[in-house]
Amino acid sequence: MIITSPAFEDNATIPEKYTCDGGDINPELHIHNVPEDAVSLALVVDDPDAPGGTFTHWTVWNIDPKTTRIKEESVPSNGVEGMTSFGRVGYGGPCPPPGKPHRYYFKLYALKDMLNLPNGTTIKEFEAEKERHLIEKAELIGLYGR
């Protein structure tokens, strides 16, 4: 399974448009080679370099496994969004403190079931449930500094 973006290459800078310094919208993402037995997909965007520990920027699950593209500034069809570390549901772009650029992981998960989790679920609750249904994982890393 592969996740890419036409907005930035793996391990390259995320354009400002997709950060808190720009439009604060999600970049377009492309999904390839999803396992045939996947029933759903999930996506987590996080920053492991945040001063207080890993910071969650977006969590979406129950994405149709036939999805090949998540459009810019959109939630995948039928996707359920979780709570971010910003304290709200939805995408929150990179917004690191001044200094060294942070790494932002766009983690895609193929799951063997739909997840029975409500909108606004925390990352901790999502992770616990996801682990029980995981088939395969792919990731894309973007960088952003201020």
Cα angle 96, 102, 108 (rounded to 5 degrees) comes to: 110
- The answer as to whether 60 is a domain residue is yes
100 pLDDT above the threshold of 90? yes
Residue 144 counted as domain residue: no
Q: What are the backbone dihedrals phi and psi of residue 18, each rounded to the nearest 5 degrees, phi first?
A: -95, 15
pLDDT digit string, tens, across residues 36-89? 999 999 999 999 999 999 999 999 999 999 999 999 999 998 999 999 999 999
Strand partners, 70: 29
SS3 content of the chain, % helix, strand, coil (to 5): 10, 35, 55
130 domain-assigned: yes
Residue 74: give its domain's CATH number. 3.90.280.10
Closest to 103 (Cα-Cα) out of 19, 12, 16:
12
Write out the residue range of the structural domain in which residue 114 sits: 2-139
DSSP 88: S
Phi (first) and psi of residue 129, to 5 degrees: -70, -40
pLDDT at residue 77, as a whole number: 86
What's the structural domain count of the chain? 1
How far apart CA 106 and CA 66 sit, in angstroms, is 18
80-108 mean pLDDT: 97
